[in-house]
Amino acid sequence: MNSKYFLLIIFYFFFSFLVFAENLAEIRAIDRITGRSFKLKVPIDTDVTFSNLILNIKYCYKNPIDKEIENYAYLIVKDRLLNNIIFEGWMFSSSPSLSSLEHPINDIWLLKCINKKAK
């Protein structure tokens, strides 16, 4: 009996991830040296270069419309000069300080996920 509930919960989570997967992630990127702020629209699973960073968003999801608006994305950020990963993990739009990129020159956080097909 418990295994049925466990399988049902697993199916629900996988189904919700597939249904609510989006095509673009809108990122706020700040260059601390110049003080300029940019909004970047990053396609899923594509390398995008900002300053000396290479951004790759593996997944980007948002909750259904009847729930609290929350966007979350899995990011991999590499330093182009050092050629190593400086951030890898989930980032949330409602609380960027929970899991943020700590870099001396750039700030990056998730704003929202966008479905290209809906536009």
Q: Where are the domains of the chain?
A: 22-118
**Higher confidence at residue 16 or residue 103?**
103
Residue type, 48: V
The dihedral of CA 64, 67, 70, 73: what is its sign?
negative
In this predicted structure, what is the pLDDT of residue 101? Answer: 79
Residue given tokens 């593996």 in the structure block = 58
In this predicted structure, what is the pLDDT of residue 88? Answer: 93
Q: What is the SS3 assignment for 104?
A: coil
29/17 Cα distance (integer angstroms) = 26
pLDDT digits (tens, 9 = 90+) for 29-81: 998 889 899 999 999 999 999 988 999 999 998 877 766 678 889 999 999 98
In this predicted structure, what is the pLDDT of residue 19? Answer: 47
Does the pLDDT at position 20 exceed 70? no
State pTM to two decimals: 0.72
114/102 Cα distance (integer angstroms) = 25
By C-alpha distance, which of 80, 69, 82, 83 is closest to 111?
A: 69
In this predicted structure, what is the pLDDT of residue 4? Answer: 67
**Higher confidence at residue 26 or residue 23?**
26
